[in-house]
Structure 1
Amino acid sequence: MIIVPTALCQPGMRIGKAVMSEHGRVMLGHRVELTQFMIKKLVQMGLDFLYIEDRETEDIPIEDSIHEDTRALLRMALSKIYTKFSATSTLGGMTNAAEISRLLFEGISRVLDDMNKGRKDLVSITTLNMAPATTLEQHFCQNAINVCVYATKLGMLQGYSHKELIELGLGALLHDVGNIQIPSKLLLSSSKLSASEYIEIQRHTELGFNMLKQDIGIPLLSAICALQHHERIDGSGYPNHLKGAEIHEYARWIGMLDSYDAMTHPRAYRNSIAPHYALEILYANAGSLYDIKKVTQFRNKVAIFPVGQGVKLSTGEIGVVCRQNSFIPSRPVVRVLKNERGEKLKTHYEIDLSLALHVMIDNCSERAIYSRDK
């Protein structure tokens, strides 16, 4: 299986992994054969990439850290929260807090079950086959689930108890819930914010804490994650300029993971950056903004280049990540499909980046893999 830019797909190609809507519903099922109309429609929707069955990569499995039905359940819970607390919603009073709480706890329990089945595996998130976030609600859901998956897996590897994992998972899932009550024009602004506008956005931490503490039946420590996830260990964060151990450990995890997820996904005011550059930024700020032990754990246990990811190497060669190295996930095994001149190889070969230390991943490059051959 390979990740192909939707605009470069051809009629007759078969879907390697179901295409999901922003609400987690299946739009195109596994092995559906693409038509020109389907391709055009997906491009119009803004879905940039598809998982495609491919002879040269048919032996490469692409698996998410959580099941699709688990992701759908989390989205349902988050959507109900958005409906209840949105500043523009007229249905908030009709949304049952007890039902939301039940869905949240059931969702986190399923995340733990999914993670336990692959307890020794690296954590990897594969959401390229999902329609991109085009509204604040969609962005809220995607970011929440990503951070939740990262945090829960890392918490398990830290040896947290079941109770602690529930607290951490809920805190990660709901860390940005306060943004629901911030004016959308500020969150979607592509221009530099004024000092007063920035202060208004910072209010989302306290708003989120109060919403969770008062209206949703979740543990207090989970609500504290919403309050503290923008605190930084040198005291430069907000809202209370806490330092070091004054910030709860859960919030230190979530603050780092939220920063990484934000950097690797586009915002209204900037483009996304490649995963390895985002990791470099985390390390550059370890000891000042982030806990260096947590950054190191993230580097050692998160597959920032998931299997199926197209990459361009420092040698100019182009290929796809085919296997992970559990002891150094930032240097996976790459199956080379094109040479440094962009010519498709008759016979592919693999480079283990944990052994070929002189070779680096230059950037993510699905388009180069499936561009017209020279």
Structure 2
Amino acid sequence: MRIIPTILCQPGYRLGKTIFNDEGQVLVGYRVELTSSMLKKLSQLGIDYLYIEDPRTDDIHIEDPIQEETRMQLRNSLGKVFEKFSPTVKFGNDSFVSYGKLFLETMSRVIEDLQYRKKDAVMLTTLNMMPASNMEQHFCQNAMNVCMYATKLAIMQGTYTNDDLMSIGLGALLHDVGSVQLPLQLLQKKAGLTPNEYMEIQKHALYGFQMLKDEVGIPLLSAQCALQHHERLDGSGYPFNLKGNQIHPYARLIGILDSYDAMVHTRNYRKAIPPHHALEILYANAGKLYDIEMVKLFRNNVAIYPLGLSVSLSTGESGIVSRLNSHSMQRPVVRVLRTASGIELKDPYEVDLSRTLNVMIEEVGEQLVV
């Protein structure tokens, strides 16, 4: 099985996993042959990737960290917030009415799903798939990724209560909710920001806090994460230039995860960078911008190249991540499916990057339709 962006899937592909809606109903069943109309509809529903059968990868079993129904409910909840709020909408104490309960219920499902395999490496199957095509998709992708990173890492520590996990999870999920109050043209600007524009962007942290702080069901700590996730240890962050322990530990962790997720995804003003380069940047700034123990926690427990991810190697060959190396999470085993000259292999072979140190992963995601 392999993961392919929906927009790159072709009619005739067979589905490797059942697709559910946010209510748990089957949208498309296992092994159904996809048609062009199905693919168009799935894209419209916000389903950005699909599990596709491939006889060359039948032995690779990809386990999503959360159930598909939970993922759809998460996506639906975030989409409703994005639709309701805008720079022209004034928010007050009643703005989030009904949303607090909705997010509590959704986050409870996320925690339950992630606890099922709590000792497994953190592995997000949707990472690095394709650039977000619009601001809502970008908002939802980032929120879901950071939420699952933070919640799973907290679960793996084994020291947090369920209330703690809820605060961390909701803080991570809603850390950027204030961005929906910013002008769209500012968020989509490709050129560098002016000083005034950058100051406007910085307001999203305060907006998020104001939207969440009085909402019934949303812990105040979660609102604090929205407020502080851009603060940095040396005081160079915003909005209040807090330093060190002035920044809540949850916000420190979420700030690291948000920075990493931003680096490995394409933005309007720059291309994505490879995950191992992003990790190097975190380490280079550990102790100055980021908590070094939290960076180590991320490095030791996150599979930055998850199973099923399509990758291109420095040799020009391309394939799929087939196995993880627990002793070297950043250097997995890659099953080569296509030669450097673009020839599809009927008999793939594997390269263990932890043993073949002169070969690197250079790009992630599908480059060509297979």
Q: TM-score, normalised by structure 2?
A: 0.87
Which residue matches 2:13? 13
CA RMSD of aligned residues (A): 3.3
What is residue 219 of structure 1 aligned with on the other side? Answer: 219
Question: Residue 30 of structure 1: CA displacement?
Answer: 3.7
How far apart, in 2, do the equivalents of 1:310 and 1:264 lie? 14
Name which of structure 1's ranges 221-230 and 355-364 shifts more when overlaid on structure 2: 355-364
Quote the residue 1:73 is aligned against. 73
Aligned counterpart, 2:120: 121
Tell me the residue number matched to 2:144. Answer: 145
Could you say if the C-alpha distance between residues 58 and 105 of structure 1 is closer, same or farther in structure 2, counting changes exceeding 3 Å?
same
1:268-324 per-residue CA deviation (whole Å, 9 max, x = no partner) reads 222222222222222222222111211121111111111111222334433211122
Corresponding residue of 2:99 = 100
Aligned equivalents of 2:322 and 2:42: distance in 1?
26
Q: Establish whether residue 257 from structure 1 lines up as the match of residue 237 from structure 2.
A: no
Tell me if structure 1 keeps the 8 A contact 2:22–2:73.
no
Query: Quick check: 1:17–1:52 contact (8 Å CA) kept in 2?
Result: yes
Q: In structure 2, do the counterparts of structure 1 residues 93 and 26 end up closer, same or farther at CA, with 3 Å as the change threshold?
A: farther
- C-alpha distance in 2 between matches for 1:150 and 1:343: 36
| Paired residues of 1:2 and 1:53 also in contact (CA < 8 A) | yes
Describe how 1:78-97 pairs up with structure 2 within 5 A.
78-89=78-89, 97=97
1:294 paired to 2:294: yes
| CA displacement, residues 333-364 of structure 1 (integer Å, 9 cap, x when unaligned) | 22222344444444322232233334322322
- 1:164-205 Cα offsets, whole Å, 9 max, x none, are 111111111111111121222211212222111111111111
More deviation, 217-226/70-79: 70-79
Q: CA deviation at 1:225?
A: 0.5
Q: Which residue of 2 aligns with 1:335?
A: 335
> What are the within-5 Å matches in structure 2 for residues 170-209 of structure 1?
170-209=170-209
Q: CA deviation at 1:26?
A: 7.5
Question: How far, CA to CA, are the matches of 1:7 and 1:310 in structure 2?
Answer: 15
For residues 95-145 of structure 1, the C-alpha deviation after alignment (integer angstroms, 9 at most, x for no partner) is 662x22222122221111111111111111223799964443332222111
Once the two structures are superposed, what CA deviation does each residue of 1:28-59 show, in whole Å capped at 9, x if it has no partner? 55423234566688899998865321111112
Q: Percent identity?
A: 57
Give the length in aligned residue pairs.
369
Helix, strand or coil for the counterpart of 2:350?
A: strand
User: Match for 1:364: what amino acid?
Assistant: V
Contact 1:84 1:92 in 2 (8 A): no
Query: In the alignment, what sits opposite 1:313?
Result: 313
* TM-aligned CA deviation for residue 161 of structure 1: 2.4
After superposing the two structures, state which structure 1 stretch, 341-350 or 141-150, moved more.
Answer: 341-350
Question: Structure 2: how far apart are the matches of 1:130 and 1:351?
Answer: 22
Structure 2: gaps (5+ residues)? none
Greater CA drift, 258-267 or 169-178 = 258-267
Instruction: Give, in whole Å, the separation in 2 of the partners of 1:342 and 1:327.
Output: 32
Q: Which moved more, 1:87-96 or 1:191-200?
A: 87-96
Letter in 2 for 1:138: Q
Q: CA deviation at 1:232?
A: 0.8
Indicate the residue corresponding to 1:110 in structure 2: 109
**Equivalent AA in structure 1 for residue 146 of structure 2:** V
* Counterpart-to-counterpart distance in 2, 1:286 and 1:305: 22
- Please identify, of 247-256 and 84-93, the stretch whose mean Cα deviation from structure 2 is larger: 84-93
How far the C-alpha of 1:83 sits from its partner, in A, is 4.7
Contact 1:18 1:129 (C-alpha < 8 Å) held by counterparts = no
Q: Give how far 1:76 is off.
A: 3.3
| Contact map agreement 1:50 1:128 (CA 8 A) in 2 | no
Q: Distance in 1 between matches of 2:69 and 2:100?
A: 18
CA distance in 1, matches of 2:199, 2:24: 33
- Structure 1: where are the runs of 5+ without partners? none
Distance 1:289 1:12 in 2: 49
Q: 11-20 vs 228-237, which deviates more?
A: 11-20
Q: Which moved more, 1:123-132 or 1:272-281?
A: 123-132
Instruction: Look up the equivalent residue of 2:313 and give its one-letter code.
Output: L
> What are the Cα deviations for residues 250-285 of structure 1, in whole angstroms up to 9, with x where unaligned?
011011111111122222222222222222222222
